Structure formats: C-alpha cells, structure tokens
Amino acid sequence: MSSTWPILQRLSLIMITFFLQQFFTNTSHGDVGTAARYSPPYSPTACYGSDPSQLPSSNLFAAAGDGIWDNGASCGRQYLVRCISASQPGTCVQGQTIQIRIIDSVGSAPSLPSSNGTTMVLSTTAFQTIANASVVAFINIEFQQV
C-alpha cells in the first residue's frame, strides 16, 4: 500500500504538467512582434506595382519587415493583428483585432515608417484601429497568419 503513493504522486505531477502545458499552448494564439505605421503614398508597392486596385479598399494593409517578408512570398498573406502593449500605457485599443494584408516590403515602400526595424508597418487606418496613433512610434503586437 505505502509503495503505491510515490507512483501516484509522480503520476499526478505528470498530469498537472501536461494540463499546464496544454493551457499555455492553447491560450497563446500567435507570435509576438512590433508594428510601426506609415502614411500615403502607399503606391507603388513591391507586390502590386502601381496598380492601386490591388490595395484593400478597407485600407487595412501593411508592409512586411525583413522577418516576415520572405523574399516576396508574403505578398497577399493575411494576418490577424492586435495591440498588446506600448511604451505609453493606454495606447492599445482593448479588444480590437484587425485583419491586414501584406502589400509591400518596408525596405521598398514609398514612405518611411514611424519606427525602423519593426515586424510590420501598418497603414495609418490599420494602426489607428488598434492603437492611439498620436502617442507612440511603435506598438507591441500579437499576430497570426490566417
């Protein structure tokens, strides 16, 4: 009888570890990165040239930073993006997620980003939907390809 207890204890530890791992895996939906913003002109783009009809009419689009540009394979990819924090508290619009399409690379975009070296650079419309744009040059984001 007494020799079964260590086994039961070990089993419950394994099970607790397993459930904790499941919990944290399931609640993390995407990658963490940073996003700056840029302003018009947005065209011409590295993905679509000078054809403005290729830009989403919602204006929810972004230029890809080096980490996700993928040599142009990222053109047209769509990401869910939400603001998770910023240097200034209260910058993020809580509970707001946007879906953006990659239309350009940051390096070849016709206008400069508000901050260099971010994961992606959002259109003004996209940035303003998830953050108080007047306060910071970049925000920390969670993003997930869809």
Contact positions toward ligand NAG, by CB under 6 A? 112, 115-116, 132, 134-135
**Shortest spacing between CB 132 and ligand NAG, in angstroms:** 4
Give 54 or 132: the residue with its C-beta nearer to ligand NAG.
132
State in angstroms the smallest separation of the CB of 135 from ligand NAG: 5
CB of 115 to ligand NAG, least distance (A): 5
Closer CB to ligand NAG, residue 96 or residue 116? 116
CB of 34 closer than 8 Å to CB of 140: yes
Closest distance between ligand NAG and the C-beta of residue 74, in Å?
A: 21
Mention every residue, 6+ apart, whose C-beta is less than 8 A from residue 20: none
Complex with ligand NAG: residue 41 or 49, whichever CB lies closer = 41
Is the Cβ of residue 36 or residue 55 nearer to ligand NAG in the bound state?
36
Are 84 and 140 within 8 A, CB to CB?
yes
Cβ 145 vs Cβ 77: under 8 Å: yes
Reference 109, options 39, 54, 59; nearest CA is 39
Q: For residue 119, what are its two tokens?
A: 């994961």
